[in-house]
Amino acid sequence: MEKTVSIIIPCRNEELYIEKCVRSLLASNYPKSLITIYVCDGLSDDKTVEIVQKIAAEETCVKLLINENQTTPFALNLGLKTSNAAIKIILGAHSEVDPDFIKENIKAFEHDPQIGCTGGVLENVYEDENSKIIGLGMSSSFGVGNAHFRTGEKAGFVDTVAFGAYKKEVFETIGYFDESLIRNQDDEFNYRLIKNGFKIYLSPKIKCKYYVRGTFNKLYRQYFQYGYWKVFVNKKHKSITTIRQLVPLFFVLFLILGFLLSFVSPLVLTAYLLILVLYFFMAFLAAKKLIDKPRYWLKIIYVFFILHFSYGLGYLKGIWHFLFLNKMPESKQSRMSR
């Protein structure tokens, strides 16, 4: 039996992408009468609203909602609470879905009655060379661990997905996205989902393109915020949500403490340098595996280092800020880096 589906798209100043995103949903191999698309705009000052209003005038299933708060979790909750659909999908404005995207999400729920969320694998579309390098680095397990929605096509149960489809009863059971979180709100929500007995299923048949933009500086700020806000989430739940989040922290502690202790003992200096050489050799092998073009390897290694160092440093600052000083998040870390 086909189900009603709503798609919630948070956006702000996305005039270059929003029409492709919405049109791809309208072209889905799923009855349009069962679909509602909510574009939750965060007070855009470009032509985003005008574009969405034009599409909405043609297609009654497209609705424009105004996100006065401008943050992502507020936009998500605005759309989710407005919708009464059986299945609710969250989607980024930089996305373009496959025609079977909605249908395959619905089918994925059939694998197990305990599945509360389904998702697929992102296919990166690069807009310039730096975006391509960043995207390649983030598609490697060396760069992002076992984030399967980025690294491959492993079907099965996972701890998180990008652009998840959720059963209505999930929100009735565990509530909505935490609006105090500027980053990590999806990871935190999925942690609560699993904690309450639901499962998350990833299917490679659920396909979605994602237009990658970015610079190395923005990547650094983005992952610093991920690490920083992850500690805030851990403190709220009094638990570490995943073990892999600690690896970048240990990496940064190794860099700092190893450097300082190297002045004390030549043996420590030798061990420190050997481990650094091993790290960069592994990074080189991972970069070489990603693409057979030597001119990209050094920059991909640089991306790996940014991902690990910035997340770990942000996590370390979060520990100091939230656990030792018992403070609330800094205002500058509440501003989005993208």
How does pLDDT run across 50-77, given as a tens digit for each residue?
Answer: 999 999 999 999 999 999 988 999 999 9
Angle at 63 between CA 121 and CA 119, to 5 degrees: 15
Residue 195 one-letter amino acid: K
CA distance 107 to 118: 9
The full set of domain ranges for the chain reads 5-214, 220-334
User: Which pLDDT belongs to residue 148?
Assistant: 55
Tell me the percentage of the chain whose pLDDT exceeds 70: 94
Q: For residue 197, is it left (φ>0), alpha (ψ between -120 and 50) or beta?
A: left
Chain mean pLDDT for the chain = 90
Partners of 199 in beta bridges: 115
| pLDDT band, residue 150 (cuts 50/70/90) | low
Q: For residue 275, is it left (φ>0), alpha (ψ between -120 and 50) or beta?
A: alpha
5-214: CATH topology: Spore Coat Polysaccharide Biosynthesis Protein SpsA; Chain A (3.90.550)
Average pLDDT over residues 40-56: 96
Is the C-alpha dihedral spanning 15, 19, 207, 166 positive or negative? positive
Summary count for the chain: helices (H), strands (E) = 13, 9
Judged against a pLDDT cut of 80, whether residue 240 lies above it is answered with no
Residue 96 one-letter amino acid: E
* Cα dihedral 240→283→276→147 (10° resolution): 0
